[in-house]
């Protein structure tokens, strides 16, 4: 079922679209959490540190893949909003070709380089083997990551945020079962956790693809629409590559920061790993708001309903503020209890690990509203078609994390590592908020605006693909 986000109350539409997206992200975090819980409780803090030490390089590569797919979906959402369905299908066909190409190249490159990267990051010797095993298997599963994210991105661009959730639920249950089977029964260690993640993602992507092919007549293509078109590929790359680079550039700072944390020892690496897992779970609503704004702004930009852009962004910011206050209150009260999900209380240094992990997540929660602005505004800008601005925001985050890793962590230790993320979000907001105002003003100058609630019989003025990048 497709959904038109160009008509109706923005707050109601955003909540209705974001809730299924949130459930999907929660399912995704569920099987990530299960990996960490099983690894931390059954294999020990050293194994948890091995998995956690790969987090930044994982984000660097997988984040690029995810951002690329999200960028490929933006022209689809814009053509959907403009009701130019033939062009929309051409974008889908060419996005599929590009996804296969990028998946093959990235898989080969990361497989060859991951050991060197872990060495450069100064991964502690006692966890190096486990870290390499885990991240190598994850990288070999990159085609599965592309498959799910590309198909789910297209479906969300059509206004359907529910369908991807169903397949993620299936994937989560499969991942849990495989975790127990591979780690408990077959004693596969951290390799078992990685294999379970890759297999579950592959199943989710394949099932989603089959469903999309059968249930969305609007995507059924003619032979002409399926042909390779370099112009469409160029537009897709102009949207996708900047969005992918935004994650990777941000991750460069995270890699430098992770290298600095690694020098503190495996105990601190394990604490950051546990805190990061909890943080990713708490940040799911903010991520869902961002994904919603990409589709909302994409459809309304394509339909030239520019008055709805500011209304939608304001509504989502209000939601982000409310959630940020709730999350902070919850962590001030229950951070130690939540951190225990990922730690073994019988370990000799369990008390110190718990204290360090709790400190990490509370500091993150204090700055959740700046993070909410980053997600909401950045994805709104991307939905409008100004993907290159996302790269500049990523540069701001990279600078903040790099400074923390190179100078602040060596000088001030663990506290500086905890504050690096919040500093990055504040720096990004200083750029993103003015950039968003500029983008909306530029669209108003370039294109005539259709009244916000114009009857659907009025054909919206089509935007020229890529003209306002």
> Is 454 part of a structural domain of the chain?
no
Is 263 inside a domain boundary? yes
Which helix H or strand E contains 410, and what residues bound it?
Answer: helix 409-412
Q: What share of the chain is helix, strand, coil (3-state, %, to 5)?
A: 85, 0, 15
Give the separation between CA 382 and CA 385, rounded to whole angstroms: 5
- On whether residue 15 sits in a domain, the answer given is yes
Read off the pLDDT of residues 41-78 as tens digits, 9 standing for 90 and up: 777 778 878 887 887 788 889 989 999 999 999 999 99
- Number of neighbours of residue 310 by Cβ within 10 angstroms: 14
Is there a contact between 243 and 183 (Cβ–Cβ < 8 Å)? no
Query: Which residues are CB-neighbours of 312 under 8 A, at least 6 positions away?
Result: 10, 13, 14, 293, 296, 297, 300, 380
Evaluate whether residue 1 is within a structural domain.
no
247 within 8 A of 335, measured Cβ to Cβ: no
pLDDT at residue 449, as a whole number: 59
Q: Which two tokens stand for residue 405?
A: 């890793």
- Would you say residue 450 has pLDDT above 70? no
31 confidence band (pLDDT: 50, 70, 90): low
Give the 3-state secondary structure of residue 469. coil
The closest of 419, 325, 431, 420 to 378, measured between CA atoms, is: 431
3-state secondary structure at position 255: helix
Above 60 in pLDDT, residue 454? no
Residue 468 is predicted with a pLDDT of: 36
d(CA 306, CA 206): 36
State how far the Cα of 432 lies from the Cα of 424, in Å rounded to an integer. 12
Quick one: pLDDT band at residue 113, thresholds 50, 70, 90?
A: very high
Rounded distance, CA 326 to CA 368, Å? 10
Q: Which of 454, 361, 397 is nearest to 4 (CA)?
A: 454
For tokens 């020990």, what's the residue?
44
CB 414 within 8 A of CB 267: no
CA–CA distance, 453 with 308 (Å, rounded to integer): 9
Cα 368–Cα 388–Cα 29 angle in degrees, nearest 5:
40
CB-hemisphere CA count at 13 Å for 407? 4
CB-based contact 102:68 (threshold 8 Å): yes
Instruction: Give the model's confidence band at 388: pLDDT under 50 very low, under 70 low, under 90 confident, else very high.
Output: confident
Give CA–CA dist 112/125, Å, rounded. Answer: 20
Q: Tally the domains of the chain.
A: 1
Residue 462 lies inside a defined structural domain of this protein? no
Stated pTM of the model: 0.82
Quick check: 2 and 159 in contact, CB under 8 A?
A: yes
110 burial type by CB count under 10 A (0-12 exposed, 13-18 middle, 19+ buried): buried
User: What tens digit of pLDDT does each residue of 304-315 get?
Assistant: 899 999 999 999
Does 459 reside within a domain? no
> Which residues form the domain of 191?
10-446
Q: Is residue 456 part of a domain?
A: no
Does residue 2 sit within a domain?
Answer: no
Categorize the per-residue pLDDT at 183 as very low, low, confident or very high, splitting at 50, 70 and 90.
confident
Contact 235, 468 (CB under 8 A): no
Strand (E) positions, 76-222?
A: none
| Mean predicted confidence (pLDDT) in 318-337 | 96
What confidence score (pLDDT) does residue 121 get? 83
138-159 pLDDT per residue, tens: 999 999 999 999 999 999 899 8
Distance, in Å, from the CA atom of 109 to the CA atom of 200, rounded to the nearest integer, reads: 23
């Amino acid at each position: 079922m497709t959904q038109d986000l160009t008509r109706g109350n923005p707050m109601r539409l955003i909540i209705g679209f974001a809730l299924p997206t949130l459930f999907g992200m929660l399912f995704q975090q569920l099987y990530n959490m299960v990996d960490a819980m099983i690894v931390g409780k059954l294999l020990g803090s050293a194994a948890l540190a091995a998995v956690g030490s790969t987090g930044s390089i994982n984000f660097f590569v997988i984040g690029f893949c995810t951002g690329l797919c999200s960028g490929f979906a933006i022209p689809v959402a814009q053509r959907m909003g403009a009701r130019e369905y033939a062009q929309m299908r051409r974008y889908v066909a060419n996005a599929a070709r590009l996804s296969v190409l990028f998946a093959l190249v990235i898989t080969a490159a990361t497989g060859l380089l991951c050991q060197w990267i872990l060495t450069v990051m100064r991964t502690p010797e006692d966890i190096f083997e486990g870290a390499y095993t885990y991240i190598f298997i994850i990288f070999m599963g990159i085609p599965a990551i592309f498959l799910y994210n590309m198909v789910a991105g297209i479906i969300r661009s059509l206004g359907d945020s529910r369908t991807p959730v169903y397949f993620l639920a299936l994937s989560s249950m499969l991942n849990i079962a495989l975790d127990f089977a591979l780690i408990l029964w077959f004693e596969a260690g951290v390799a078992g956790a990685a294999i379970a993640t890759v297999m579950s993602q592959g199943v989710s992507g394949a099932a989603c693809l089959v469903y999309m092919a059968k249930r969305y007549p609007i995507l059924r293509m003619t032979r002409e629409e399926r042909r390779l078109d370099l112009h469409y590929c160029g537009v897709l790359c102009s949207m996708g590559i900047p969005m992918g680079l935004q994650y990777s550039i941000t991750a460069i700072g995270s890699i430098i920061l992770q290298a600095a944390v690694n020098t503190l020892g495996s105990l601190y690496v394990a604490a950051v790993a546990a805190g990061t897992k909890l943080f990713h779970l708490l940040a799911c609503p903010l991520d869902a708001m961002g994904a919603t704004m990409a589709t909302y702004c994409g459809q309304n930009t394509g339909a030239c309903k520019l008055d709805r852009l500011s209304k939608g962004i304001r509504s989502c910011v209000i939601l982000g503020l409310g959630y940020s206050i709730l999350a902070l209150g919850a962590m001030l009260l229950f951070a130690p209890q939540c951190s225990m999900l990922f730690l073994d209380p019988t370990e000799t240094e369990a008390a110190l690990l718990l204290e360090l992990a709790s400190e990490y997540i509370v500091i993150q929660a204090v700055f959740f509203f700046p993070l909410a602005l980053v997600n909401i505004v950045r994805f709104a800008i991307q939905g409008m078609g100004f993907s290159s601005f996302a790269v500049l925001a990523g540069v701001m985050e990279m600078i903040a994390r790099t400074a923390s890793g190179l100078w602040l962590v060596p000088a001030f230790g663990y506290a500086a590592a905890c504050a690096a993320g919040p500093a990055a979000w504040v720096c990004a907001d200083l750029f993103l908020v003015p950039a968003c105002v500029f983008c909306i003003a530029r669209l108003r100058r370039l294109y005539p605006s259709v009244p916000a609630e114009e009857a659907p019989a009025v054909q919206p003025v089509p935007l020229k693909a890529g003209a306002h990048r």
